[in-house]
């Protein structure tokens, strides 16, 4: 069990208690904030967003590997989003049984039928997530968990957490480690992408930029960092619900989107990534209207679909990356190195083989439906149960199977409101933010804009920060 903070610090209860108090105050000072469960839609009651007391060690080589492959993943997502045949083929079996993906796909089809709008500006803001699989020789290899192409969060708060860990390490007498905490500012990079798309849209001063928000807004401060970066550039940035847009939104004959009488240049979806976000049919109407419109969508429907787990599984098949990068064997190799084993559950002999393999050793795998937001995956004996239930039925094609990644546990303290201060065995997940803007055939921007480390107790198989399982962290490069 590795821990770079000396044991005598980790087990000194009085010191830990003092440090935890300082850490929480520092998080509040730095704006590492979240609204509370009791009042998710008001800022009268806020608390610190959950975070680790100490940063977690991450090997430098693996960290740099994750950063350096990001622009290739940006390009990949962008290429997939434009490849009609690929998306159709990859998702054919999934949309037979998964209603949510089917609805998204239907929007995609409808737009194709009507002809794409004149809009040639594409904005992609994504986050590629990884865990470090521990090899037998104790080294670790970078394995991609997924790419989030819609509503990838924590770019704002993770811009503020480095100061908290820098400070706490100093107070703990670890000045040298403190100086090794990396600066990080995904909020600025994501905002740069949004601002670029807004600029390219046209020169009218009245055009607005929309943040589509959820009904429950505990994580509003994460958004606010990006919003304030946009307001600094004098970009009118407005938060809206699907319902608001339904009431006052329309398309003009040129398919320009108007809401409250103002033209919308960019729609940034921080909502719409899971079925529960579409509380009524009007929400779907709005998503379709936006997709039809000339406004830049982040993401557009093709890019949203490119982020499905089914697409991820298909990408891992031999020859598929080559299809998108025919002349770039190095890029292909760099991306493929990060792929874990991914297996189809389509009907047929290959899918049957996957089922047999999973039933024989369920603890080696994760069973994944086409869902986002954490807490949806299936592990261990549950895999057996679910696969037995769907045996011989097309229902199984709603899932994919993935090798389970096993990182080395690291001890840390998870600071969360109203939770006891206890040492936990923890697992971390590294996210890398990508931002790109394309105008027609020209890539105007393609960047890696920062990182996110999230850490959870190893008792939990699944779940992100918003799901109440993981907490914010920072890498300490070793
Ligand atoms: P979501 O889109 O809901 O975030 P993920 O694929 O990221 O779905 O899975 C959610 C969580 O489950 C991850 O944050 C991670 O903790 C865990 N997880 C997912 N895939 C694996 C895997 N292959 N091995 C180990 N843990 C995994
Ligand atoms: Mg996801
Ligand atoms: Mg995830």
- Please give the pLDDT value at position 467: 79
Mutate to test the pocket of ligand 1, among 100, 127, 131 (most ligand atoms within 8 A of CB): 131
Count how many Cα atoms sit within 13 Å of the Cα of residue 192 in the half-sphere of its side chain: 17
Is 261 catalytic? The answer is no
Is 146 catalytic? The answer is yes
- Which residues have CB under 6 Å of ligand 1? 129, 131, 145-146, 340, 366, 368, 371-374, 376-377, 402-405, 429, 462, 464
Positions in the chain whose pLDDT score sits under 70: 1-3, 117-119, 203, 205
Is 127 catalytic? The answer is yes
- Please give the pLDDT value at position 350: 97
Ligand 1 atom closest to Cα of residue 376: 3
Nearest to 57 by CA among 17, 129, 3: 3
Is 215 catalytic? The answer is no
Q: What's the 463 CA to ligand 3 centre distance in angstroms?
A: 8
Q: How many CB atoms lie within 10 A of CB 248?
A: 12
Is 277 catalytic? The answer is no
Is 232 catalytic? The answer is no
- Please give the pLDDT value at position 105: 98
Q: Max alpha carbon distance in the chain (Å)?
A: 70
Mutate to test the pocket of ligand 1, among 128, 149, 275, 374 (most ligand atoms within 8 A of CB): 374
Neighbouring residues of 267: CB distance < 8 A, sequence distance ≥ 6? 210, 212, 257, 290, 295, 296, 297, 298
pTM as predicted = 0.97
- Please give the pLDDT value at position 2: 45
- Please give the pLDDT value at position 391: 84
Paired residues of 125 in beta bridges? 435
Q: What's the 370 CA to ligand 2 centre distance in angstroms?
A: 9
Nearest to 51 by CA among 157, 191, 190, 155: 157
Binding site residue list for substrate: 127, 150-153, 217-219, 270-273, 454, 465-466
pLDDT in tens, 420-466: 999 999 999 999 999 999 999 999 999 999 999 999 999 888 878 88
Neighbouring residues of 295: CB distance < 8 A, sequence distance ≥ 6? 119, 201, 210, 256, 257, 264, 265, 266, 267
- Pick the catalytic residue: 35, 127, 166, 396? 127
Nearest to 167 by CA among 3, 16, 15, 24: 24
What are the structural domains, with CATH classification, of the chain? 7-340+405-477 (no CATH), 341-404 (3.30.1490.50)
Q: What's the 8 CA to ligand 2 centre distance in angstroms?
A: 38
- Please give the pLDDT value at position 361: 98
């Amino acid at each position: 069990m590795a821990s770079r903070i000396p044991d005598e610090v980790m087990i000194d209860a009085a010191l830990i208690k003092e440090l935890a108090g300082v850490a929480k105050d520092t998080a509040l000072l730095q704006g590492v904030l979240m609204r509370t469960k009791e009042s998710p839609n008001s800022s009268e009651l806020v608390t610190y967003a959950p975070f680790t007391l100490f940063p977690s060690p991450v090997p430098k080589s693996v960290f740099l590997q994750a950063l350096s492959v990001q622009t290739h993943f940006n390009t990949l997502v962008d290429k997939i989003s434009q490849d009609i045949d690929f998306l159709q083929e990859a998702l054919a079996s999934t949309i037979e049984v998964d209603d949510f993906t089917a609805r998204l796909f239907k929007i995609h089809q409808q737009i194709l039928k009507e002809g794409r709008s004149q809009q040639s500006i594409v904005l992609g803001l994504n986050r590629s997530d990884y865990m470090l699989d521990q090899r037998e020789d104790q080294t670790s290899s970078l394995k991609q968990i997924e790419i989030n192409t819609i509503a990838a969060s924590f770019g704002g708060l993770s811009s503020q957490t480095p100061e908290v860990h820098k400070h706490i390490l100093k107070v703990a007498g670890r000045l040298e480690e403190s100086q090794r905490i990396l600066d990080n500012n995904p909020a600025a990079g994501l905002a740069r992408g949004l601002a670029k798309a807004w600029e390219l849209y046209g020169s009218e001063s009245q055009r607005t930029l929309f943040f589509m928000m959820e009904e429950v807004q505990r994580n509003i401060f994460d958004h606010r960092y990006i919003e304030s970066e946009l307001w600094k550039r004098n970009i009118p940035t407005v938060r809206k619900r699907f319902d608001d847009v339904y009431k006052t939104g329309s398309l003009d004959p040129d398919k320009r989107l108007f809401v409250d009488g103002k033209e919308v240049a960019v729609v940034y979806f921080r909502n719409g990534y899971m079925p529960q976000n579409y509380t009524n049919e009007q929400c779907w109407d709005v998503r379709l209207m936006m997709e039809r419109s000339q406004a830049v969508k982040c993401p557009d429907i093709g890019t949203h679909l490119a982020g499905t787990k089914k697409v991820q599984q298909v990408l891992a098949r031999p020859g598929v990356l080559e299809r998108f990068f025919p002349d770039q064997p190095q890029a292909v190799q760099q991306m493929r190195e990060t792929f874990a084993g991914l297996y189809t559950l389509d009907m047929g002999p290959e899918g049957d083989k996957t089922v047999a393999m999973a039933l024989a050793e369920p603890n080696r795998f994760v069973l994944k439906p086409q869902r986002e937001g954490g807490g949806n995956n299936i592990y261990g004996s549950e895999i057996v149960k679910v696969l037995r239930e769907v045996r011989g039925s097309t229902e199984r094609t709603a899932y994919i199977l993935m090798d389970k990644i096993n990182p080395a546990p690291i001890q840390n303290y998870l600071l969360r409101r109203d939770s006891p201060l206890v040492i936990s065995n923890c697992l971390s997940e590294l996210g890398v933010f990508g931002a790109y803007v394309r105008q027609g055939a020209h890539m105007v921007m393609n960047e890696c804009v920062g990182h996110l480390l999230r850490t959870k107790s190893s008792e939990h198989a699944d779940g992100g920060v918003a799901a109440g399982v993981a907490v914010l962290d920072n890498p300490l490069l070793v």
